[in-house]
Amino acid sequence: MCLGLPMTVVEGDDFSALCEWHGERRRVSTLLIGRQTRGARLLVHIDSAMRVLDDAEAEAIDRALDGLAAAAEGRAFEHLFADLIDREPELPEHLRK
């Protein structure tokens, strides 16, 4: 399974950015999305920034990844998916008619 990580730009140039996620830093390509400023949140997949995220979406992805890790380790994870409890699943906007 491949996952995108919600990374935060530390510094960048026209072609790449140094990004951080949970204390890990790596240089990622920004050729698909253009130059980004410090603090921008990016969805990074295989060291390439795929798109810019708003803070709410980045936090939701972060919680989901933390929840998957907690579940895999046998720890409580339900609190990390509080926005999904007691509601019907919804299609993403781009898949709705």
Residue 90: per-residue pLDDT: 85
Per-residue pLDDT tens over the stretch 48-64: 999 999 999 999 999 99
Q: Print the domain residue range for 70.
A: 5-81
Give me the number of domains the chain comprises: 1
pTM over 0.85: no
Residue 42 covered by a domain: yes
41, 8 in Cβ contact below 8 A? yes
Interacting residues of 33 by C-beta distance below 8 A, sequence separation 6+: 42, 49, 50, 51, 52
19-29 pLDDT tens trace: 999 999 999 99
* CATH number of domain containing 47: 2.30.30.140
Distances (CA, A) of 17 to 40, 64, 69, 83, 96: 10, 24, 26, 31, 33
Over residues 1-42, the pLDDT tens digits come to 578 999 999 999 999 999 999 999 999 999 999 999 999 999
